Amino acid sequence: MEENLPPQEPTEDQATEESNVSYPEQTLWRQFGESKTDEDFYYNWIRLQIQFISNVHSCIIVAGPPDTGPFTPVSFWPKEHREQHELAEVIERTLRERKGVVIRNTSAEVPASVDFFHIAYPIKAHDMLCGAVAFQIAPCPSDELQAIMRQLQWGVAWLENRVLRKDAEQERAFKQRITTVLDLAAGSLQDRFQAATTSFVTLLATRLNCDRVSIGFVKGGHVKVSALSHSAQFKKQMNLIRSINEAMNESVDQHSVIVYPKYDTADYILRSHEELARQHGNDSICTIPFFDKDGKGYGALTLERSEKQPFDSETAELCDNIAALVAPILEEKRRNDKLLIKKIGESVQLQAEKLVGPGHVLLKISLAVVLLLVIFFSFAKGDYRVTAKTTIEGAIQRAIVAPFDGYIFEQFARAGDTVDQGGMLCTLDSRDIHLQRVALESQKEQAFRKYREAMASSNRANMKIFREQMNQAEAQLELIRDQILRTKLTAPFDAVVVSGDLSQSLGSPVQRGQILFKVAPLHDYRLKLQVDERDIGEVKAEQSGALILNSLPNMKFPFTIEKITPVSSTKEGENYFLVEAKLGQVSERLRPGMEGFSKVDVGRRKLIWVWTHDLIDWVKLWVWSWWP
């Protein structure tokens, strides 16, 4: 926002209109408009206000950080009257109340002839208190006092405008700095390290009007130039490159930003910078070192200008901010662009330096503990056990099938139920069979009557025929009676029903030989272990172990290996062998189909072998598969 100042010199056309404006007042306006520093601005403002406020004895302006303070004097009038304690009270009051204040000096120590009014008004910007201005004037009527306060209120607007302009300039400078930093950071986001560094230094040289910008990173313990602005290639044996390297190392060694010539009184060694300026013509040099989070230097940025454009503190700070954002990006790219073997070597070297060098006590203690544990477990032995997924099965499993074609009539048990020996499982519909039995009994009775008639007539031939018909009917009746008995399906022993549920199939037809139920004995089980093919060589018959079931995790069941099946099976992408074992302890809670995990006791082995043999075997197989 620009100040709308009155004309510094009146024109001929304005002479009549401005005839009432004196030449001294025009001079004051010109001086006020040409003020460069805050001190001149405030002082010339006071001089202008005195032109509109009569009988001013003294004046003071205080300013400070918005709202927070402290507020300190920044300008006085007259200049020789710097100790103005009499205005302290009105200043404090207007700062506290944040409004214009008028106080009359009625102190008994002051004669009535030198009685004064103290008038103060706050300076505010963005509704924040930035300071205050106070006048000491001679007594005057109330209407004149109001005019003075009104004039002071209008005049303070110039001071508030000054504060707003400074804030706007600072905000503009901050945005410009942020834009510069982000643009330069974007220029470093190339795919490859060399392209990114060259792009960055070239863009930086253009933005900051530098004759040359170079960037270097630590290699072999010293900073070496990696890229020059406007140069895709350069010879590292050049005297220029050696001089820049020495200047970068000088900055990194001193852990500080180096500006040559010095703009402050810091006591830095500038020998390499002086030599670079003397030999290669750029008399203004600024070097920014790069440091990681541990404070270790890993590179530097050197900017060169002519003597006519020295590096000030703001430019050096901007370069430092740019380096803080871009340097880690470039360092990461530099590390990623290295060969894998080199990355591994550097990582090993870094860890070795941490172990041998000072510091990193926790790392050293951790490594020592790990070494002690490895040594201990290399000699200590423990029980080695092979783990296998296990399923419980009945020692035998009996299938209950349909004895003939028929229909389901009634069900008494289903899967999961326990039944005693002879207990009913289900029955088949026997009505058709009973009808067949009645028909056969009738046929037998008819043959018997005919047999008696033939015997009464002494007809031996008919007697023999009818006797055979009687025997045939009797045989068919025996078959029917047996079928009637077999309509009742019972358990052959005390068992648990493993499978079979006919509750939803009553009345459904069944065919002869169709499996209706599967039962297994209640207290006679066997285990089937799925042993991984990598561990089957350790498992042998008669070995013992323990089983923990998923449904009974707090109970262990001992077992003994009985048989190893010499055929492998595949399940879920893994090969395993079935191993049969016999339980040594049986519980009422066991049921066929339960699953869990078994551990087979193999023997004692070194603990380090127990934990690493799978990995070692895998590595051996992998090497063997690739070995020519």
CATH (domain of 97): 3.30.450.40
| pTM for this predicted structure | 0.44
pLDDT at residue number 185: 67
> In this structure, are 235 and 211 located in the same domain?
yes
**Cα–Cα distance between 417 and 423 in angstroms, integer?**
11
- Residue 359 belongs to a domain: no
Q: Angle at Cα 402 formed by Cα 396 and Cα 403, nearest 5°?
A: 100
Query: Is 446 inside any structural domain?
Result: yes
Judging by beta carbons within 10 Å of its beta carbon (0-12, 13-18, 19+), is residue 502 exposed, middle or buried?
buried
**Can you give the CATH number for the domain in which 424 is found?**
2.40.50.100
Provide DSSP, 169-232: HHHHHHHHHHHHHHHHHHHT--SSHHHHHHHHHHHHHHHTT-SEEEEEEEETTEEEEEEETTBS
Residues 161 and 192 in one domain: no
pLDDT lower than 50: segments of the chain: 1-23, 107-113, 265
pLDDT for 547 equals 92
Rounded to whole angstroms, how far apart are CA atoms 274 and 251? 13
Give the list of residues 6+ apart from residue 391 with CB closer than 8 angstroms, or none: 527, 528, 530, 593, 594, 595
Does 606 map to a domain? yes
Q: Does a structural domain hold residue 5?
A: no
| 528 and 514 fall within a common domain | no
Residue 123 belongs to a domain: yes
The predicted pLDDT at position 3 comes to 35
Residues 155 and 286 in one domain: no
Co-location of 513 and 419 in the same domain = yes
Q: The CATH number of the domain where 566 resides is what? A: 2.40.30.170
Instruction: Identify whether residues 552 and 514 lie together within a single domain.
Output: no
Phi and psi at residue 110, in whole multiples of 5°? -100, 125
Q: What domain count does the chain have?
A: 4
- The residue segments making up the domain with residue 279 are 188-337
Q: Are residues 331 and 193 in the same domain?
A: yes
How confident is the model over 147-203, as pLDDT tens digits?
888 888 788 888 888 787 877 777 776 676 666 666 666 666 666 778 888 888 888
Residue 332 sits in the same domain as residue 196: yes
Q: Which residue has the tokens 């009746």?
A: 477
SS3 of the chain: helix, strand, coil, percent, to 5: 40, 25, 30
Q: Tell me: do 166 and 204 sit in the same domain.
A: no
Is 7 within a domain? no
At 617 the pLDDT is 87
Q: Is residue 243 part of a domain?
A: yes
